[in-house]
């Protein structure tokens, strides 16, 4: 990834998908690639998107780390040099979620401390656009945490959809999936062989209380712009 040949050809690959109609990219394993790559690749991809009618094309990276400084270093021009990614997954916040909401043993002040640390560690353009989440395919599901309950997940979902940032809901969380470590946090939603529930049964249930709450919260966010654009 340090060579011009690799950088230009990687840009060409991603530009191809932009031309197919993609609206944005989640960029995997960002911290395992040299910083110079992102400082070359991100501006090139943004320039291509802008010339194809997407001046606000959004790219956020996965930096699995609890350090605000580490995560923030991949955003915009933080730390100097050319523009890098528009945002990153809010892993520092994620590492607080289970203690505060699932186990209910951690204090909420740590969340406010996280918000207060954002300005000094993240590019200005990314500060209100960090991608927030409760669980994902690399982390144990919320309901696998000792002490967690469906009621606590409801509180956490409400926090997710009404706090600053861009909420990311991992499929199956709204169905009550409770798999722990890989591969058990990657259950099939469809009627496949690897299931949270009975094999051969589709798990997409639109009457599940968690599904209904998630849909309601989505609508709140759509109807009230203060929830996504308001100040904290």
What are the residue numbers of the active site? 28, 62
Cα–Cα distance for residue pair 142/180, rounded to 1 Å: 9
> How far, in whole angstroms, is CA 216 from its chain's centroid?
20
Helix (H, G, I), strand (E, B) or coil at 188: strand
Q: Is 61 helix (H, G, I), strand (E, B) or coil?
A: strand
CB-based contact 123:82 (threshold 8 Å) = no
C-alpha of 34 from chain center: 21
Could you tell me which of 72, 61, 64 has the C-alpha nearest to residue 37?
61
Give me the helix-helix angle, 4-19 and 35-51, nearest 10°.
30
Is 69 in contact with 123 (CB distance < 8 Å)?
Answer: no
The answer to whether the CB of 159 falls within 8 A of the CB of 213 is no
């Amino acid at each position: 990834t340090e060579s011009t040949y690799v950088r230009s050809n990687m840009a060409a690959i991603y530009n191809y998908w932009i031309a197919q109609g993609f609206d944005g990219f989640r960029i995997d394993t960002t911290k395992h690639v040299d910083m110079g790559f992102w400082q070359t690749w991100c501006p090139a991809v943004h320039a291509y998107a802008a010339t194809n009618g997407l001046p606000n094309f959004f790219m956020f990276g996965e930096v699995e780390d609890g350090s605000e400084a580490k995560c923030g270093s991949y955003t915009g021009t933080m730390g100097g040099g050319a523009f890098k990614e528009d945002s990153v997954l809010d892993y520092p916040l994620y590492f607080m979620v289970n203690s505060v909401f699932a186990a209910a043993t951690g204090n909420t002040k740590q969340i406010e401390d996280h918000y207060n640390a954002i300005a000094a560690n993240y590019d200005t353009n990314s500060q209100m656009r960090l991608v927030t989440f409760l669980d994902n395919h690399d982390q144990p599901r919320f309901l696998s945490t000792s002490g967690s309950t469906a009621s606590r997940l409801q509180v956490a979902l409400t926090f997710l959809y009404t706090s600053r940032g861009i909420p990311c809901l991992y499929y199956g969380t709204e169905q009550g999936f409770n798999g722990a470590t890989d591969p058990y946090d990657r259950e099939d939603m469809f009627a496949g062989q690897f299931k949270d529930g009975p094999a051969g049964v589709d798990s997409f249930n639109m009457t599940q209380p968690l599904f209904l709450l998630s849909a309601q919260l989505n609508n709140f966010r759509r109807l009230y712009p203060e929830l996504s654009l308001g100040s904290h």
